[in-house]
Structure 1
Amino acid sequence: MITLGWVRMTALYNAWQNSGLRRDVQALDAGEATRDRGAFFGSILGTCDHLLRADKMWLSRIADGPEAPPGGIAESRNLTPDVAAWAARRKATDTAITRWAEALSDCDGDLTCSSGALGRDIARPMAVLLTHFFNRQTHHRGQIHAMLTAAGVEPEDTDLPFMPEPA
């Protein structure tokens, strides 16, 4: 279904896109970043926090990495106290995702993990879960992009073919 090359490319794309989000969100004043915009997670920062929490949760599942943050979806919009804290944790998480992708040797087989949303364990093909991991990131970045645009920010390109070559 997917290849190691796809996983690595998508991890780099995620880091590139989140770098732009960090720049754009940090350029907002605190009131703009935290203003309720009627989105599912309220504000720009609330949606950024949700995305970060979910990335950390999924990374704990697929990489046997650090423990997932406490709480569930309802609390995910309040993961960090402010934009600066979010930006630092976002950058560290993107580094962890990229390093994990580089070290990944196999994306075959099944993974069993606990789903808080379903309240039970699930077993799914690793390829399906990795596709979900990266697709969900794109979905939530799209929500953030729309809120940034409405706030008068012009985010940079999001097209994969325009991603800079890795250094």
Structure 2
Amino acid sequence: MNFNDYGRAMARYNTWQNGVLFGLCEQIGDTERRHDRGMFFGSIHGTLNHLLYIDLRILGILQTGQAEPYDACTIVADDFGTLVKMRAETDTAIATFVDDNDHSWQDEIRELTGLDGITRKLPRQLFLMQLFNHQTHHRSQITSELHKMGLDYGITDVPLTPDLPI
């Protein structure tokens, strides 16, 4: 598997897992989604919002090499319906990006100043890896909360992704 295949497989996995996650989150209702559970971003809704915000930032870096300064307080979508719509649109944009025939972006290096204040020169491929890793990290926080509520998240194994494009 080359990096292009990795990107396509992970984009498919990401779309599948976000579909499962949002389906379960729809079942619990807005009050439960917004309940402060002591998570890093407070609530399930806050964490879903953070995921979308970071995906849009990283997608911007991948597409243009640039991103706006990070703001932890950014609310991308305050209502769940808009969040669902934007999540689906963003997952489609990620899949479209990795499926593009022009992969010259992979060889480019970008400078990024992290929250630690250190500026690093990084390959753009690393940002795609971070996008998927970040998704997995925060989805696991949400699935833990859903489990406490008695909801079974189900299978999360990458090789079992439906319609894996490899």
Category of TM-score, reference length = shorter chain: 0.7 to 0.9
**Structure 1 residues 69 and 143: CA distance shift in structure 2, 3 A:** farther
CA contact (8 A) 1:112 1:121 kept: no
Equivalent AA in structure 2 for residue 154 of structure 1: D
SS at match of 2:151: coil
**Structure 1 residues 132 and 48: CA distance shift in structure 2, 3 A:** same
TM-score normalized with structure 2 length:
0.86
Deviations 1:91-126 (A, max 9, x none): 110010001110052464233255462557542022
Equivalent AA in structure 1 for residue 91 of structure 2: D
CA contact (8 A) 1:53 1:69 kept: no
CA contact (8 A) 1:8 1:98 kept: yes
Q: Where do residues 70-89 of structure 1 align in structure 2 (5 Å cutoff)? A: 72-73=71-72, 75-76=73-74, 78-89=75-86
Unaligned runs of 5+ in 1: none
- Between the aligned residues of both structures, percent identity stands at 33
1:140 and 2:144 equivalent?
Answer: no
| Inter-partner Cα distance in structure 2 for 1:36 and 1:62 | 33
Q: Where do residues 64-143 of structure 1 align in structure 2 (5 Å cutoff)? A: 64=64, 72-73=71-72, 75-76=73-74, 78-103=75-100, 104-106=102-104, 108-115=106-113, 117-118=115-116, 122-143=120-141
CA contact (8 A) 1:35 1:44 kept: yes
| Inter-partner Cα distance in structure 2 for 1:52 and 1:139 | 13
CA contact (8 A) 2:147 2:153 kept: yes
**Structure 1 residues 41 and 81: CA distance shift in structure 2, 3 A:** same
1:150 and 2:148 equivalent?
Answer: yes
Aligned residue-pair number: 164
1:82: Cα distance to partner?
A: 1.8
CA contact (8 A) 1:108 1:126 kept: yes
**Structure 1 residues 147 and 141: CA distance shift in structure 2, 3 A:** same
1:157: Cα distance to partner?
A: 1.1
Unaligned runs of 5+ in 2: none
CA contact (8 A) 2:106 2:125 kept: yes
TM-score normalized with structure 1 length:
0.85
Counterpart for residue 161 of structure 1:
159
| Inter-partner Cα distance in structure 2 for 1:137 and 1:27 | 21
